[in-house]
Structure 1
Amino acid sequence: MAKTSPGHFFEDYRIGQVFRHATPRTVTTGDRALYHALYPSRFALTSSDEFARACGLPQSPLEDLAAFHVVFGKTVPDISLNAIANLGYAEGRFLRPVYPGDTLVSESEVIGLKQTSNGKSGIVWVRTTGRNQRGEAVLSYARWVMVRKRDPEAPAPEAVLPELAVAVAPEALVVPEGLDFERYDPALAGSGHLWEDYAPGEIIDHVDGVTVEDAEHMMATRLWQNTARVHFDSGARPDGRRLIYGGHVISLARALSFNGLANAQLIAAINAGAHANPCFAGDTVHAWSEVLDRALTDRPGVGALRLRLVATRGPQTPGELRDEVGKYRDTVLLDFDFWALIPMRG
């Protein structure tokens, strides 16, 4: 009897199937140090315990996306080991901060299935929840991924397409317990631009760029215990190139967004996300943001900005996302729609 697993293929999935993913992971300050070594992230709330305490938190939490990557990484052996591509995200909510010392586990439920037109693969939708050692949900999100079939002749399942919200409603955003911006120091945060200074329709060029290296990408992906073959094995793709993990691009773009959005301290929700084109080692990632909306939260002094964060291969004119026929430009790597928490003026 075989003791190794080739992973799941499209025909192995069923609606309602639940996966309790292996390998609980205790996160530490080492994860924060490695995250900051891999990405040029400078957000004060996730960099300084003292800054976080001044904002009402017990200590500096792990970067929201670091927690996301850990939870996501656990799902890969069951959901996307045989993936062709991770396609998108929706209905993501960050429900409580993750602090050094917390232990994270993940669970996913299959909520949608649809075979692709060529019959060689299919799209699998799952809803994943990450929990801490107390069983408390720290984040939840839906994602969909294209997965190979083991047998192209296997019959297609009945197509089930989940209904997913276009965006997380502002009233559904969770502000971390205790978060209070009354003693917020914009100088230490790196910018005086607060909630009131941003307007829907505004576009921000984040100016800087970071060239992706294979070594850094593979170190990051191993850090999250993401085992998808396309990220490591040069024989997993016909072109012999290792695909950069999409979350690596998200974290690079989020870190670059500090220049222009330094006070957008915490991600509260992921409304949508699309990896528009593949990223490979040698690509230089640039980013720009569009302010889509502003909202109040249930916490005085804490506002929310809905932002579209776009990562591109090389510098690109901010605001240029699609071509004349409505398709993503081939220089667009990421289209990421999220809510961020930001202080308001007193």
Structure 2
Amino acid sequence: MGERAKTGKINVGRFFEDYRLGDVIRHAVPRTLAGAERALYHMLYPARHALYSSDEFARASGLKASPLDDMIVFHTVFGKSVPDVSLNAVANLGYGEGRFLAPVWPGDTLRSESEVIGLKQNSNGKTGVVYVRTRGLNQHGTTVLEFVRWVMVRKQHLDAPAPDTTVPDLASAIDASDLVVPQGLTFDAYDFELAGEGHRLGDYSVGEKIDHVDGVTVEEAEHMLATRLWQNTAKVHFDTSARPDGNRLIYGGHVISMARALSFNGLANAQMVVGLNAGAHANPCLSGDTIRAWSEVLDTAETTTPGVGAIRLRLVATKGGAPFALRKEDGKYRSDVLLDLDYWALMPT
């Protein structure tokens, strides 16, 4: 099993040559989540989805109470993996095969572990791409979230031999039949007025695009609060000397949560994120950028639970760019595109 590089008693993180295919890394430190995380999350982002805002709304939907926001779970599990996976990263490149497998409740304790499933040294010989499958587990050992991500990591010793190239074959999307609907969830008594919009799954058509209209300017202070809240220790988010331009890079998850919150305007009933099909941080986000968002409906599907449908969405965050503009003529992302995220959410049919 690969070990983090050490200087005396100090861990300085893993470099590309420290990873071995098949390594399983148990990440420190477990974290007990509480209602305070929800309050802080809703302070940082304009999050308003009713199922995560109201115990009474959640109980009317068949749950024992309001679970913690899906992105709180993602950030917590992701943050635990950073010291072992992306402390020396140049960039977090993408996501795939993500599934939310069980609700997380205030009082639950989460820990994370990652398996190295791919390695590829870049042609410059200075960096390489590490692919990991990360799992978040609760205090009962139940996996609540799993996802694959790939990260570009620096080499410490440029003469270290390149590993055999292994790039995992990942599904382009989670099949709707593999999505997990929380036990007991029902939308039979769903209150559309309290939820904020009247649109059901059948009101959306594949190919439809929605401009979420609003924008939020990212400030340095809120970003630093967010990365500390999620215990994300990646140097590029904290240390101005970690990037040549002297700027602290806004944590990509901050952009995800901001865009997801903005999507409420037009997708208020896309209540629970249950699948992460793919995702890319197309361009860096810096303090002072104004995040806007638009969505495209990619698919709709029934689930095994009557009345609960699934909607597959492309969520695009931009820094002020025109809605619905994604790529240039050469196929590369436009410079104003920050995030391109493909996900499944649950919605009343």
TM, length-normalised to structure 2: 0.98
Please list the CA deviations of residues 168-209 of structure 1 after superposition, one character each: whole Å capped at 9, or x if unmatched. Answer: 000000000010101110000000011010000000000000
2:324 paired with 1:319? yes
Q: Which residue of 2 aligns with 1:257?
A: 263
1:237-252 equivalences in 2 (<5 Å): 237-252=243-258
Q: Which residue of 1 aligns with 2:336?
A: 331
CA distance in 2, matches of 1:12, 1:182: 52
Structure 2 counterpart of 1:103, which letter?
T
1:1-346 equivalences in 2 (<5 Å): 2-314=8-320, 316-344=321-349
Deviation at 1:320, TM superposition (A): 1.1
CA distance in 2, matches of 1:340, 1:13: 34
CA distance in 1, matches of 2:168, 2:185: 34
Q: How many residues align?
A: 343
Please list the CA deviations of residues 48-88 of structure 1 after superposition, one character each: whole Å capped at 9, or x if unmatched. Answer: 00000000000101110110000000000000000000000
CA distance in 2, matches of 1:298, 1:317: 38
Deviation at 1:288, TM superposition (A): 0.0
Deviation at 1:152, TM superposition (A): 1.5
Please list the CA deviations of residues 210-235 of structure 1 after superposition, one character each: whole Å capped at 9, or x if unmatched. Answer: 00011101111111111001000001
Structure 2 counterpart of 1:212, which letter?
V
Please list the CA deviations of residues 303-328 of structure 1 after superposition, one character each: whole Å capped at 9, or x if unmatched. Answer: 000000000011x3322100011100
Structure 2 counterpart of 1:332, which letter?
V
CA distance in 2, matches of 1:269, 1:182: 23
Deviation at 1:117, TM superposition (A): 1.1
CA distance in 2, matches of 1:79, 1:317: 35
Unmatched 5+ stretches in structure 1: none
Structure 2 SS opposite 1:151 = coil
Structure 2 counterpart of 1:66, which letter?
I
Contact between 1:203 and 1:318, CA under 8 Å: does it hold in 2?
Answer: no
Structure 1 counterpart of 2:245, which letter?
D
CA distance in 2, matches of 1:318, 1:222: 31
CA distance in 2, matches of 1:18, 1:238: 32
CA distance in 2, matches of 1:186, 1:310: 25
CA distance in 2, matches of 1:224, 1:308: 25
CA distance in 2, matches of 1:70, 1:317: 32
CA distance in 2, matches of 1:137, 1:75: 15
CA distance in 1, matches of 2:308, 2:316: 25
Deviation at 1:155, TM superposition (A): 1.2
Structure 2 SS opposite 1:61 = coil
Unmatched 5+ stretches in structure 2: 1-6
Q: Which residue of 1 aligns with 2:3?
A: none
Structure 2 SS opposite 1:205 = strand
Structure 1 SS opposite 2:242 = coil
TM, length-normalised to structure 1: 0.98
Structure 2 counterpart of 1:76, which letter?
V
Structure 1 counterpart of 2:300, which letter?
R
CA distance in 1, matches of 2:70, 2:247: 29
